[in-house]
Amino acid sequence: MSHELDDLQNKEDRKHYRAIWISDTHLGTPGCQAASLLSFLKHNESDTLYLVGDIIDGWQLRKTWYWPQAHNDVVQKVLRFARKGHKVIYIPGNHDEQARQFDGLFFGGIPIVKEAVHTLKDGRRLLVVHGDEYDNVIRYAKWLAFLGDTLYNWALALNRVYNKIRIKLGYPYWSLSQYLKFKVKNAVNFILDFEEQLVKVARDRGFNGVVCGHIHHAEIKDVDGVLYCNDGDWVESLTALVETVEGELQIVHWHQAAPVMKVKHQASVAAIPEGVTP
Ligand SMILES: [Mn+2]
């Protein structure tokens, strides 16, 4: 009941889209910025919500059980969204690959599918996939991916401590993975390879473009007439891909934490400032 009331109160400051794509939320890990994600889901809605993989991190949960209330709230929010008649589609990724065995089944009115097709307002058709099947590291060296995952999580944990200190001292948030991704040439090549693969798949299969996640790097770009869209992540970049009512694709950056959003007219005290530089 309180949830429904909450929804009504928020109605006026909720933005409506034709479609919203989010992925790589990694619920079940300390890295997931669930408060921000919840805030995003409270202030934005769409005819269709695509969950583009790595939503619940089974890899991490298998090692250590981590499930705070905020993560539950996100799941509840999504289920309620589906109950209220919005279309929600869940495409599992590699971190929630356990869900892939349920391909074609429904959970709480949400179908689980390996891929989806989205038709833009102007009629262009986009293939929607998580994208790990086109990541050569995951495909050919899964042990390396697991190792990388562990190292990445250690680095993220260190980064959280570092940023707590920075913010206490009045410095802006500093993004480790953004820094690594853009300073390391191989990472840039990796991103380009990945984009190229996905664009090729979309083209070969006769789509006008592709929407994916997986590499935690939001992007909208045209590659020789094929649209490449990546919706980013909710570990570091806090981004979603949206199609506006007018049919325009945009990346939404949501550097707002839930506790801050509750205090109205104090937008300037956001916990994580926007436009952070490495
Ligand atoms: Mn992934």
In the structure, what pLDDT confidence band is assigned to residue 262 with cuts at 50, 70 and 90? very low
| C-alpha to C-alpha distance for 43 and 37, rounded to whole angstroms | 10
**Structure confidence by residue, pLDDT tens digits, 192-220:** 889 999 999 999 999 999 999 999 899 99
Q: How far is the CA of 213 from the centre of ligand 1 (A)?
A: 7
Q: How far is the CA of 66 from the centre of ligand 1 (A)?
A: 19
pLDDT of residue 128: 98
Map out the domains of the chain as residue ranges.
2-269
pLDDT of residue 275: 30
> Region 86-103: what's the mean pLDDT?
92
DSSP 70-90: HHHHHHHHHHHHHHTT-EEEE
| C-alpha to C-alpha distance for 142 and 136, rounded to whole angstroms | 9
Q: How far is the CA of 24 from the centre of ligand 1 (A)?
A: 6
State the DSSP code for 228. Answer: E
| C-alpha to C-alpha distance for 249 and 243, rounded to whole angstroms | 4
Is the domain spanning 2-269 CATH 3.40.30.10? The answer is: no
Q: How far is the CA of 210 from the centre of ligand 1 (A)?
A: 16
pTM, to two decimals: 0.78
Q: How far is the CA of 170 from the centre of ligand 1 (A)?
A: 33
Q: Which of 253, 213, 220, 274 is nearest to 22 (CA)?
A: 213
Q: How far is the CA of 138 from the centre of ligand 1 (A)?
A: 9
pLDDT of residue 141: 56
**Structure confidence by residue, pLDDT tens digits, 45-89:** 999 999 999 999 998 888 889 999 999 999 999 999 999 999 999
| C-alpha to C-alpha distance for 124 and 207, rounded to whole angstroms | 8
Q: How far is the CA of 72 from the centre of ligand 1 (A)?
A: 21
pLDDT of residue 264: 38
Both tokens of 242, joined, read: 């949206």
